[in-house]
Chain A
Amino acid sequence: MIKVVNLKKIYQDNGVPVKALDNINLDFEKREFTVIAGPSGSGKTTLLNLIGALDLPTEGKVFFEGEDLSLKSKSELAELRLYKLGFVFQAFNLIPVLTALENVEFTMILMGVPEEERHERAYAILEELKIAELANKRPNEMSGGQQQRVAVARAIVTNPSVVLADEPTANLDSDTGTQLMNLMEKLNRDKNITFIFSSHDPVVIERGRRHIILRDGKVVSDTSK
């Protein structure tokens, strides 16, 4: 489904080149529940960003469903992110001026889903994630755990093939983090959504069925349960 070939990413830090990813080769299949682990600075976020077409590699290619992302225009990449990918960020990143329901609806507006249908789908997803009571609340009226659940709802409401989650539990307490992982696992199982998430929390890492360990921008281990 996703193929990463000889992927390299070098950042310039005050003119000094910093190798964030060094020759990564990986394959991700449908319905995987994969965790990318490793210490801070190992390249987890960079890898997720490149898979999610949020950034451009220095060298190498990312193939999504057989298509080379480097050959796509900005607009085509935006379409890919809209229709095929869902994102969950460490800092939740909900739109602060919109309510939970509106945040979930927003991606469907971008897709041109009719108002009635998107309203129904957004409510349904909030109910499914047991956060329907938050529908009319804005992010600043919600806890971190509630915001992250809304973020997950926003990521999956468009029925994406893949959800990329960058340290989704990092800003949550352990109970809320466990609940979020349960939710992601359930969605992976029930809706066949591929989840690729990063973490350095051993409890969260343990939940992944495939473990990719990065260190200094290289894959040091790739194992499946």
Chain B
Amino acid sequence: MEIVERTERRLEARDLIYEVGATRLLDQVDLNADKGELVGLIGPNGAGKTTLLRTIGGLLKAREGAVLLDGDEVSRMDTGQRAKSIAQVAQLPPLAQGFTALEVVMMGRYPHMGRLQSERSVDRYAVRKALDTAGAGALADRTLETLSGGERQGVFVARALAQEPRLLLLDEPTSNLDINHQARFFHIIRGLVDDGITAVAAIHDLSLAARFCDRLVLLNKGVIVAEGLPHDVLTPKNIEVAFGVRAIVSSDPASGVLGISVMETGSGGNSVGAGTRVHVVCGGGTGARLMYRLCEAGFLVTAGPLANGDTDRSAAESLGVEFVPVQAFGDIDAVAHNKHLRLIRESEIAVLSDVAFGSGNVRSLEALLEASLIVLATMEPIPGRDFTDGEATALFDQLSPVAAWSDLEALVTGLSSLARNNEGTQEIPNSSRENQQ
């Protein structure tokens, strides 16, 4: 996705406040969009996305704030002037039965025509072009009720284009379409944007938003929570703040496309962690599943030093787990070591994975000496994983792990009972003793 021009600001909404009765639906919202930019509006139901779009489009009057389009205030435009500048596509296009696609698209020419003027060739040309651009050229003579949802959405995009707007506002336009039509729809919008139109779209599907938008604005309860490039906005932390769910944000290694899936926390046996802070020392892919399962079980997870390119580091990033970033093939410097020590001291339990130790990461074991409670997530003896000529083994022997489980589910159960007993006696649960042999 190339960016066309970033020289002038097309849309500038400042300090928008919109209220219904005593309820504030928009609270000092700012939103900017440049020429040739597709801005995605995301957020939970009731966040104010539709209200914001309607306010920008001039359908609602903000109590305070201003919406500027190329410097002109939208609320001061007359309806015709506004319709020539801003077009909107609703979530559910009206089912006005009996009208043909061509007639519907011709309605978009309303602001360009005089009251008693009949359609001119310029209008017919604009309508034909709009239908073709929106991929609805073959539907011109079909009546609306004979069209599928995707086809009808295409007709209403064509109608919006027939207005020849500078700004296109889309309110969850694909929420009723299948995945194929969703992608096709956004490819069309993307093409328009790359040709210089500005579009703001409320989008339900976060992955879709990340894939097609230049920038995202995350809205919650009428307030902007985050805005910026998709991968900066769609962090597990932001998603948890806005949507109230733990999410895994992964980036497809090949395409770079962001994928978002929701973790089911807090249901059934999944909340055993109850916010206990657990620190995981891992690397080389030994901790990915472990961290995921611990997050899912409701533990507050942090991780030790992880080099860039490490699978465990990607896992920590997509889970929103705080970790100690280090350079690949480099040593753990003083700054990293201190951060690691802090994370260990702040957690109630430290878990050591099946990770192998070399000269680069052996300092992790040194830091673990500070842990109050150590659990091993492996039964493998340390000498097999020691590539430091005994330095790692020597450090390991100074640790006094209270338990060890190689089975992930047993580990989760064990950690939760450890967490519960932590305040009282430091008794080791029975199951762990058996396992430790």
Q: Decide whether A and B are members of one complex.
A: no
